[in-house]
Amino acid sequence: MPAPQHSEAGAETAACTDALPPDALPPDALCPDALPSAARGGPISHTLARVARLHRITAGKFLKAAGIYPGQEFVMMYLWDAGPVRQSELIKVVDLDPSTVTKMLQRLEQTGHVRRSPDPADRRAVLVEATGASCSLHAQVSGAWAGLEEHTLAGLDAPERAELARLLGKVEANLCGEAAGCPGIQDSTSSARSTSAAEL
């Protein structure tokens, strides 16, 4: 009689972990803080991925008070500083799928924060700009971002924050070297802000 399917799966799992030294195995497989055996070769990368996920969840809570969703703030940040831009340019800057950006703009347009219009220089293109009514949102996003910063860096003194920003800037430089269309390396302060958003 053939062995149950779950036994085969268990045997396969054991074969994978048996190949590792005893000290490479997590002390408790059910502990969420334990490093997975497959991530032993990249513990810092695993930590960055976890931190990025938690940071994005926390950012969503801060942004909820402003009435926007995570990701929309980056669209607005660019529009506030850049002025009217073509939608195609905006898509490249935020580095998201065109359909995702289109949905974001539709929602932001419905709430009165952005305006879309034909480009006078090319009627096939669409210009996107922040509206005057979005000024109140600017203040809310600024406050949310400041609150997120303090929550994220609680317990770190000024030198530690500066060192973290410096190190994250170096990590960003490494990753930008492999990323197509990378916007470039920012100063250490803005680098820490961009890393905290997301995209980690």
Beta strands in 36-186 (DSSP E): 85-86, 114-119, 122-130
Question: Which run of H or of E encompasses 178?
Answer: none
Which pLDDT belongs to residue 110? 95
The whole-chain average pLDDT of the chain stands at: 81
pLDDT at 184 over 80: no
> Tokens 């703009």, residue?
105
CA diameter of the chain: 76
Q: Is residue 98 part of a domain?
A: yes
Q: Is residue 16 part of a domain?
A: no
Q: Are residues 81 and 123 in the same domain?
A: yes
Q: Is residue 152 part of a domain?
A: yes
The mean pLDDT value for 101-108 works out to 95
Q: Are residues 94 and 184 in the same domain?
A: no
Contact status, residue 134 vs residue 113, Cβ threshold 8 Å = yes
How many independent structural domains does the chain possess?
2
Domain that holds residue 62: 43-66+136-197
Q: Are residues 140 and 184 in the same domain?
A: yes
Neighbour tally for 131: CB within 10 Å: 15
The helix, strand and coil proportions of the chain, stated in percent and rounded to the nearest 5, come to: 60, 10, 30
pLDDT cut 90: percent of the chain above it: 60
Which pLDDT belongs to residue 18? 54
CA 104, 49, 174, 164 torsion-angle sign: positive
- Report residue 200's pLDDT band, with 50, 70 and 90 as the boundaries: very low
pLDDT at 64 over 90: yes
**Tell me: the pLDDT tens digits for 33-62?**
678 888 889 999 999 999 999 999 999 999
The mean pLDDT value for 10-21 works out to 53
Q: Is residue 19 part of a domain?
A: no
pLDDT at 188 over 50: no
Q: DSSP secondary-structure letter at 154? A: T
**Tell me: the pLDDT tens digits for 105-155?**
999 999 999 999 999 998 889 999 999 999 999 999 999 999 999 999 999
